Structure 1
Amino acid sequence: MAKRTFGSVDRLPSGRYRARYLAPDGRRHAKVFNAKADAWAWLASQQADLLRKSWRAPNAVHRTVGEYAEDYLVRSDLREGTRVLYAGLWRHHLAEPWSDVPVDEVTPAAIRAWHARAGRTTGPTSLAQSYRLLRAVLNVAVADEAIASNPCRLRGAGTPNASLPSRALTAAEVLQLAERLGQDRRTERYRALVLVLAFGGLRFGEATALRRSDVLAGGRLRVERSVRRVGGRWVVGETKTDAGHRTVPLPAGIAAVLEDHLEKHVSAPPESLLFSTSSGGYLARSNWNSTFRRAANAIGLPAVRPHELRHTGATLAAATGATTKELMRRLGHSSPAAALLYQHAADDRDADIARALDAMLDALTEAPDDDTDGRPT
């Protein structure tokens, strides 16, 4: 009889048989049987599941999505702002339909049905964020081998569907917008903000978390934190990604405007906010959006959103011929995919290249050829 190498079976004082084996989760799992043959048969089935990569931890499969979410939200690697955001998303959009569902009962069909229902009452950004959170929570269950694969498989569900396509402003439009803000004493303090967002490519939360001490010599901005309002309070934390920690050089003309802004609108202490309300507090995104839209309408800009100032900064940088790596560093992107989204805006350079090649070809075809038989003279 062949020697058994997986697990072990021993007889208990009761006369029953205990089968045991060491599992991939690092734990020793056991089950008791009346017959020795049944114990070995169970071990064989567990070994077969391991070979087929379909083995599940006996206890993990009974955990609910809510239990996994509870563990996920206290992870030490979550930034504080992200933790607050995720807690709100779970509470408002995910807890009711998913808290009590065992992870092994979550199916792709159930995910599709939830997503369709939620899409009727939830905005595109919150829906995409909620989907990403649910997918991340279930990824932990996959890592625990409680489920074989993640049932969140909806293509594109993690990306919000914008109601309008992104539009980059031209440099002239940005300057016109900044000039409009500068003409009104109530909005004059936001002139420099428009220019920094557009020509520096900063995220709004990064820009509004800047302090006087973050303005460095040579027209450079040190970006190392971000701010957002979550649950009725301001949360200051790390930048969106580790790559968000960066130093952004500004064009000389924009740096000069910023110096003037420092003198007129920022108090002397190093910790004073660079872009704030008139009372020195954090600038709320909703208030900024209203201010931006009034100025954009006043100069006759077509439909454009405040976030497209960052899109503008990325597009202008790409148009200078910046490489993907250079765009990643300037914009604080952690992956090439994000930076590549903006390089399409440099497609006009292809037309310039084509025109230059045409000129070269024209020069060749128009060159005098006095020798009709092609022999050198």
Structure 2
Amino acid sequence: MGKKRRFGRVRKLPSGRYQAHYQGPDGIDRPAPNTFATKTDAERWLVLKEAEISRNEWLDPDAGKVPFEVYAKQWIDDRVLKPRTEGLYRGLLRNHLIPTFGNFDLVDIREADVRRWRKERLGKVGQSTVAKAYQLLKSVLSTAVDDELIRRNPCRIKGPAPRSGR
């Protein structure tokens, strides 16, 4: 019989791969998001997860499973905005962000998705509009980071900040 782990557990699946489980700070038993080729890989993943919890950096893996469209509309509703600004934000959301990101869960939006979206938009509408839509996307996702729904904001386009134009 193997030595008992003090944090989490690993089991061998019929496929020969290994599955890791741990109890989150919320008391819920959680599986690793994927299986592992070796027991050592599964145990290493558990060590990292335990360290994340001990540093208070753990995020509920289900927290970011909120559709972008739902979160972004609520983000606008939660702000005190001038009517013109609110109209601008709702238009940018409806015309430029929801068609691409609306059905994505917050946790599933990646940097590459944002870069592809921006490049595609630049080919269809003015740079100023794209810059405003990008800033709105970045602000919404920054709030999702603050709300501990996602670990980091995927709006990380390198180089000078996109300009809104004149």
| 1:117 counterpart SS class | helix
Once the two structures are superposed, what CA deviation does each residue of 1:178-207 show, in whole Å capped at 9, x if it has no partner? xxxxxxxxxxxxxxxxxxxxxxxxxxxxxx
The number of residues matched between the two structures is 133
1:70 counterpart = 2:73:
yes
Q: Which residue identity does 1:58 align to in structure 2? A: P
Question: 1:113: Cα distance to partner?
Answer: 0.7
Deviation string 1:112-167 (CA, Å, 9 cap, x unpaired) is 1110000011112111110000001111111122222111111334313x5xxxxx
Which residue does the alignment assign to 1:125?
A: 128
TM-score, normalised with respect to structure 2: 0.67
The yes-or-no answer on 1:31 pairing with 2:28 is: yes
SS of the equivalent of 1:138 reads helix
CA shift, 1:94, in A, is 0.8
Which structure has the greater CA radius of gyration? 1
SS at match of 1:62: coil
Aligned pair in 2 of structure 1 residues 158, 44: CA closer, same or farther (>3 Å)? Answer: same
CA-based RMSD = 3.1
- Provide the rounded CA distance (Å) in 1 between the counterparts of 2:24 and 2:151: 23
1:94/1:130 contact within 8 Å kept: yes
SS in 1 for 2:28: strand
Structure 1's 114 and 52: CA in aligned 2 closer, same or farther, altered over 3 A?
A: farther
Identity rate of aligned residues, in percent? 29
From 93, 97, 104, the equivalent of 1:94 is 97
Residue 65 of structure 1 contacts residue 137 of structure 1 at CA under 8 Å; is this kept in 2? no
CA distance in 1, matches of 2:85, 2:123: 25
1:79 maps onto 2:76 in alignment: no
Measured against aligned partners, the alpha-carbon deviations of 1:66-86 in whole angstroms (never above 9, x if no partner) come to 122021110133332211110
Q: Choose from 50, 54, 70 the match for 2:53.
A: 50
Indicate conservation of the 8 Å contact 1:139/1:150, yes or no.
yes
In the TM superposition, residue 51 of structure 1 has moved relative to its aligned partner by 4.2
Amino acid across the alignment from 2:28: K
**Which amino acid is 2:114 matched to?**
I
Name 2:162's counterpart in structure 1. Answer: 158
Alignment of 1:344-363 (within 5 A): none
Structural mapping, 1:265-304, within 5 Å:
none
Task: Tell me the distance in 1 between the aligned counterparts of 2:79 and 2:92.
Answer: 18
Distance 1:31 1:102, change over 3 A: same
Please give the TM-score of this superposition, normalised by the length of structure 1.
Answer: 0.31
SS at match of 2:162: coil
1:59 corresponds in structure 2 to 62
Deviation at 1:54, TM superposition (A): 4.4
Task: Please name the residue that 1:302 is paired with.
Answer: none
Counterpart amino acid of residue 95 in structure 1: I
Instruction: Give the number of the structure with larger relative contact order, counting CA–CA contacts within 8 Å between residues 6 or more apart.
Output: 2
**Relative to 1, partners in 2 of residues 1:32 and 1:54: Cα closer, same or farther, differing over 3 Å?**
closer
Q: Give the distance between the partners of 1:108 and 1:20, measured in 2 at CA.
A: 27
The aligned amino acid for 1:31 is: I
Please, which of 139, 144, 153 is the counterpart of residue 142 of structure 2? 139
What's the CA shift string for 1:313-368, capped at 9, x where partnerless? xxxxxxxxxxxxxxxxxxxxxxxxxxxxxxxxxxxxxxxxxxxxxxxxxxxxxxxx
